[in-house]
Structure 1
Amino acid sequence: MGSIAKQEEASILSLAEGILKDTKQVISYLKSSKAALPTFSAAAEPLPTAPDFQQLQTSLRTQLEDLQLLVDGPARFYRYFLVSGYEIAAFQIALTFDFFTAVPAQGDISLAELANKAGLDQDRTNRVIRMLITQRVFQETRPGFFAHNAFSMALHRDEEMKSMVHYSFDEMLKASAHSSDAIKADPFEADSVHCPFYDRFGIPIFDYYRKHPEHAGRFAKAMAGWRKHSYPWADLKGTVVDIGGGSGHVAIELAKFYPHLKVAVQDGDAAMLAIGQKLLSDSVRDRISFTHANFFEPQQYVGASAYLIRQCTHNWADHDVVKILKAIVPGLEGSAPGTPLLINDMIMPEPGSEVPRLWERERRQADMVMLVCYGAKQRTVSEFVGLLKEADPRYVLGKVHAEKGALGLLEVYLERS
């Protein structure tokens, strides 16, 4: 889908015809699934998240983007792209001064009242919210009065989404601005102290969150998304060890969906573990434990039904991942043959593979986050296999659950003689 030949063949008319066709398919899907058609209303319902609908979205978005690029041309594209950083400033200010909470869920608010609630002068309050309105975030209901629309309401009612957006602006994008300087200083080194985040804040990212627990809580909420995978969790019996499980959000969801399972959460951040204790409900409290543990040190829990490491490997450079994988071996050796190590992380496309451009871009964007903030990377299946074999030649890759969503899952086993 992303071949050069197909890009060259694209024309304004063919793209417009494709957009019309895909738009009709999107509408047909929504009607058949009894989902509401999207609007900018603050009361708009969320769109479906099913993989087949996401494929329709990707196809339509790709053609919409190509049509805009052809209509704009290179000069206009770069003029707009270069000022997008200043638009980001409006989001930063609105999040820091909490416009999204200050604007009521229902009804509107005057400029003067919004400025008073935000603790900001009226001039800059006015300029910021009007900038966001041009991005279809918030709306002006009458002169000088503002209300939510679908896009601002999403950040008003969804604390996890708001946390994700806020920590991205507050930490990650500030670090991103230091990328060229940091890499120029260490062009052949990449890890948590040789990366733009360290260059910006003078401290590795994990130490930063220990030093700033108020930001650690926000980061934990931002990371709290959970995706069920096609792995047969129901077949497991006993305890799943959640390595680097943070606040235990994955453990809690696993325990909710599979009442026969116990989950042992391990993490090196005491603040994260403390947050997790507060999240437990009575229905899962007796099946989830929290242990302070360093995943670079040999695994102490033996006899598990599975070891899960989710969205951790992408935070570390190759040599660190090898240490983590080596440290898990004692746990596998002390458990029953066939006990799986489940690596739940993004899977990058192999070089030369033919994948949708926007699908790949989302993964490349995530890979750049790892480069900027952790001196680390997202990996292909073959890269994972290489690190596994380096850690212990007995590691073998079983099934690959390559999900159409953000994350995949690798089933890994330790061969026994």
Structure 2
Amino acid sequence: MSSHVENFSILRLAEGILENTKEVIKCLHKSNVALPTFSPTCEELPSTPDFQKLQNRLRTQLEDLQLLVDGPPRFYRHFLMRGYEIAAFQIALDFGFFTLVPSEGDISVGDLANKAGLDQDRTGRVMRLLTTHRFFQESKPGFFSHNSFSIALQGDDELRSLVHYSFDEMLKASAESSVSIKADPFEADSVHCPFFTRFGVPIFDYYKKHPEHSGRFAKAMAGWRKNNYPWSDLRGTVVDVGGGSGHVSIELARLFPHLRFVVQDGSDTMLAQGQQLLTDDIRGRISFTQANFFEPQQYVRASAYIIRQCTHNWADHDVVTIFRSMVPGLEGSAPETPLLINDMILPEPGSNVSRIWERERRQADMVMLVCFGAKQRTVAEFEALLNEADPRYVIRKVNGQGALGLLEVYLDRECGPNNVHS
């Protein structure tokens, strides 16, 4: 009986995969996007919410089918080899394979080894493992060329930086997770986390000590994701709190030429990199100021304050301090001035969401645990920290559907600073 049920389940999954694949094809045709291939010239897939829902549905079915067909023993045998596969990927990144293989044509394993400064034997072994994962292709014996997945890491410096720093600092830190948590099972912050255990300093101090890595980290964090806020309705100056090198402000300044931006960050390195990114069309509308978001906000009369991908780097008590430090700025601005918290939002436990969608957010939560002793948060968790910082804080709008969520938070002026809003 159980065999019949399982066979039926596998068949139903396969049928669902077929139907959802047809829906994906329809969506691509509607968007005038060619069907994906492994060709280096393959078009980028759409990033619309509807297409992402289709992707997640299909990925979930594909994953379930593979798990059922493989069975537990084969799954674990393959899963336990991931660490060694990661070693090959890291070698390819550290020795520049992704940029050394030409964008067009191929390269012999000998020439690649010479350019990388590595012996030919290990160069070939690493490349051949990667080709089994559809990274690169061996166009003829001993000659390698790009495919759509490897070429993506050649032309996109930000994506390559994201992958490289993840394979370098972050995975080394993650290997210390159990050691770190066993040493301090009830403490979690920037000095009670696996990154500190591995490198002996909090993550931001590490990048101050290693400027050769801080630039890569800045590029990795630079991928701008659109947030659903009506920027065109604002007039005046937006303060980008903890804005790093100002990638968000730079992108917004180009899209909304009527706005001005002040980028605040505690790192001279980040601010200097931001200055170098300015072009003549936006130079007069973006300024950079060194500021610590744990200290009271000095800029007043702003149109909005945005803090993007910062709160997830800090433990709860630190986030309370950050939110409390924003109050002087909000009090010195117009009553309807928003504090925009642009960060990932976790689903509440028991929410009916896609398993793949939730996993991506839970994975990001583990990154915060490993690297910062911090966390991603639900709306309820954000609300509790805001209320602890100042009971006048009110969340008026939540958009949590994209890669990053957006909380629109206001200071309720009708409620006294020492009174809890009803």
Under a length normalisation based on structure 1, what TM-score does the superposition of the two structures give? 0.97
1:202 aligns with 2:200: yes
- In structure 1, distance between residues paired with 2:356 and 2:73: 22
Q: In the TM superposition, what are the counterparts of 1:258-277 in structure 2 within 5 Å?
A: 258-277=256-275
Q: In the comparison of the two structures, how many residue pairs are matched?
A: 410
Match of 2:389 in 1: 391
2:227·2:342 contact (CA, 8 Å) conserved in 1? no
Residue-by-residue CA offset, 1:170-218 (whole Å, 9 max, x unaligned): 1101100000000000000000000000000001000011111111111
Residue-by-residue CA offset, 1:292-325 (whole Å, 9 max, x unaligned): 0000000000000000000000000000000000
Match of 1:325 in 2: 323
Match of 1:279 in 2: 277
Letter in 2 for 1:28: K
Match of 1:4 in 2: none
Match of 1:113 in 2: 111
1:305 aligns with 2:303: yes
Task: Please give the secondary structure, in 2, of the residue aligned with 1:309.
Answer: strand
Displacement, 1:9? 10
Match of 2:419 in 1: none
Displacement, 1:401? 1.5
- In structure 2, distance between residues paired with 1:338 and 1:43: 48
- In structure 1, distance between residues paired with 2:305 and 2:7: 48
Residue-by-residue CA offset, 1:149-184 (whole Å, 9 max, x unaligned): 000000011111100000000110110000000000
Residue-by-residue CA offset, 1:387-409 (whole Å, 9 max, x unaligned): 00000011111111223x21110
Residue-by-residue CA offset, 1:345-368 (whole Å, 9 max, x unaligned): 000000111111000000000000
1:410 aligns with 2:407: yes
- In structure 2, distance between residues paired with 1:28 and 1:339: 43
- In structure 2, distance between residues paired with 1:409 and 1:33: 27
Match of 1:48 in 2: 46
- In structure 2, distance between residues paired with 1:293 and 1:254: 21
Displacement, 1:43? 1.2
Letter in 2 for 1:328: M
Match of 1:181 in 2: 179
Q: In the alignment, which of 333, 348, 351 is matched to residue 349 of structure 2? A: 351
Q: In the alignment, which of 166, 173, 177 is matched to residue 168 of structure 1? A: 166
Letter in 2 for 1:413: Y
- In structure 1, distance between residues paired with 2:28 and 2:166: 31
Match of 1:382 in 2: 380
Where does the alignment leave 5 or more consecutive residues of structure 2 unmatched? 415-422
Letter in 1 for 2:184: D
Q: In the alignment, which of 147, 150, 158 is matched to residue 149 of structure 1? A: 147
- In structure 2, distance between residues paired with 1:351 and 1:10: 30
Letter in 1 for 2:142: G
Q: In the alignment, which of 27, 32, 36 is matched to residue 25 of structure 2? A: 27
Displacement, 1:8? 8.7
2:191·2:201 contact (CA, 8 Å) conserved in 1? yes
- In structure 2, distance between residues paired with 1:230 and 1:298: 28
Letter in 1 for 2:406: L
- In structure 1, distance between residues paired with 2:236 and 2:8: 55
| Structure 1 runs of 4+ with >4 Å offset | 7-10
- In structure 2, distance between residues paired with 1:360 and 1:203: 31
- In structure 2, distance between residues paired with 1:81 and 1:204: 30
Q: Cα–Cα, structure 1 residues 156 and 395, in superposed 2: closer, same or farther, change >3 Å?
A: same
Q: In the TM superposition, what are the counterparts of 1:94-109 in structure 2 within 5 Å?
A: 94-109=92-107
2:60·2:355 contact (CA, 8 Å) conserved in 1? yes
Letter in 2 for 1:397: I
Residue-by-residue CA offset, 1:331-357 (whole Å, 9 max, x unaligned): 001001111000000000001111110
Task: Please give the secondary structure, in 2, of the residue aligned with 1:11.
Answer: helix
Match of 1:90 in 2: 88
Letter in 2 for 1:73: G
Q: Cα–Cα, structure 1 residues 9 and 346, in superposed 2: closer, same or farther, change >3 Å?
A: farther
Letter in 2 for 1:214: E
1:42·1:148 contact (CA, 8 Å) conserved in 2? yes
- In structure 2, distance between residues paired with 1:411 and 1:46: 31
Where does the alignment leave 5 or more consecutive residues of structure 1 unmatched? 1-6
1:344·1:408 contact (CA, 8 Å) conserved in 2? yes
Q: Cα–Cα, structure 1 residues 10 and 188, in superposed 2: closer, same or farther, change >3 Å?
A: farther
Match of 1:15 in 2: 13
Task: Please give the secondary structure, in 1, of the residue aligned with 2:225.
Answer: coil
2:398·2:407 contact (CA, 8 Å) conserved in 1? yes
Residue-by-residue CA offset, 1:204-244 (whole Å, 9 max, x unaligned): 00001111111111111111111222211111110000000
